[in-house]
């Protein structure tokens, strides 16, 4: 069964350092999402791609976060510099359909657990 | 901003008891999705509701969408240990992205 791949699974870094997370969506899925999930809360959308284009990054802290999906397949989320408050689970998801995103079933990867010391 | 409120935050039940979580929005929703996240895992899609008053069942799980399309519920009959996890509802925001509730954690008492 096809799955969303993410790496690394765990990352420990010191504040002010740069970190990067990688996501490979299910083959053929045009839409890719990056979420941040703080313990005890629901996922919060950071950025949504349709193929290689950003369609929503309104909640992405652009002073320190960046995301790209250059060839419309895999994607990288970067934080520079990391802050203590960035400690969270970073989830990548993908969906097949290209219509209104709220109707699309999303398939999640295992996530990257980030700890900033 | 738009919010999807979900209650309760936690529910402790004995195995075999029922479980219900409620989801409420201040605005009318075009659709609502439900996901389950096992401890240490990632969210997994359960179902989507679109129609006013819609009721869908998956074995022991019953999902409802309110007549006004502002609320939804998930009811589990006779909980089992495999039901443990956090259940999230998610509805569309202003940009049609999903806005997630905070989730209801189902805990089975030992």
- DSSP string across A48-100: EEETTEEEE-TTS-TTTEEEE-TTSS-EEEEESS--GGG-EEEEEEEES--S-
Residue B87: pLDDT over 70: yes
Q: Are A67 and A53 in contact (CB under 8 A)?
A: no
The distance between the two most distant Cα atoms of chain B, rounded to a whole number of Å, is 43
Residues of A in contact with B91 (CB under 8 A): 102
- Spatial distance between the Cα atoms of B90 and B25, rounded to a whole number of angstroms: 10
What pLDDT was estimated at residue B84? 98
**pLDDT tier for residue B69 given thresholds of 50, 70 and 90:** very high
The model's pLDDT over A35-79, given as tens digits with 9 standing for 90+, comes to 999 998 999 999 999 999 998 899 999 999 999 998 989 999 999
Return the half-sphere exposure (C-beta side, CA atoms, 13 A cut-off) of residue A44. Answer: 17
Residue A84: pLDDT over 70: yes
- Spatial distance between the Cα atoms of A25 and A73, rounded to a whole number of angstroms: 7
Tokens for A55, please give them.
Answer: 């369609």
Residues of A in contact with B45 (CB under 8 A): 105-107
Residues of A in contact with B95 (CB under 8 A): 55-56, 58
What pLDDT was estimated at residue A99? 65
Interface contact B92-A44, CB threshold 8 A = no
What pLDDT was estimated at residue A101? 66
DSSP 3-state percent helix, strand, coil across chain A (nearest 5) = 5, 45, 50
| Residues pairing with A33 in the sheet | A48, A93
| B87 in contact with A, Cβ within 8 Å | no
| B85 in contact with A, Cβ within 8 Å | no
Q: Are B69 and B28 in contact (CB under 8 A)?
A: yes
- Spatial distance between the Cα atoms of A103 and A64, rounded to a whole number of angstroms: 30
Please, which residues have CB within 8 angstroms of residue B28's CB and are 6 or more apart in sequence?
B68, B69, B70
B95: nearest Cα among B16, B12, B7, B1: B1
Name, of A40-44, A74-78, A98-102, B94-98, the range with top average pLDDT: A74-78
Percent of chain B exceeding pLDDT 90 equals 87
Average pLDDT over chain B, rounded to whole? 95
């Amino acid at each position: 069964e096809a799955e969303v791949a993410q790496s690394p699974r765990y990352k420990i870094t010191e504040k002010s350092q740069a970190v990067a997370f990688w996501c490979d969506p299910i083959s053929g899925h045009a839409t890719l999402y990056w979420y941040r999930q703080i313990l005890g809360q629901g996922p919060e959308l950071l950025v949504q791609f349709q193929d290689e284009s950003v369609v929503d990054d309104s909640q992405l802290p652009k002073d320190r976060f960046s995301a790209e999906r250059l060839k419309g397949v895999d994607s990288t989320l970067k934080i520079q510099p990391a802050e203590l408050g960035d400690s969270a689970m970073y989830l990548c998801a993908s969906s097949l359909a290209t219509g209104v995103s709220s109707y699309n079933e999303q398939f999640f990867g295992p996530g990257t657990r980030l700890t900033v010391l | 901003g738009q919010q999807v409120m979900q209650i309760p935050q936690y529910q402790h039940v004995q195995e075999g008891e029922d479980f219900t979580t409620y989801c409420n929005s201040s605005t009318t929703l075009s659709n609502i999705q439900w996901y389950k996240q096992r401890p240490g895992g990632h969210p997994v899609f359960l179902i989507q509701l679109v129609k006013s008053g819609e009721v869908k069942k998956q074995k022991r799980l019953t999902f409802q969408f309110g007549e006004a399309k502002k609320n939804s519920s998930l009811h589990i009959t006779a909980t089992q240990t495999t039901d443990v996890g956090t259940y999230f509802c998610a509805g569309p925001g202003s940009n049609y992205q999903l806005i997630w509730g905070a989730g209801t954690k189902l805990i089975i008492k030992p």
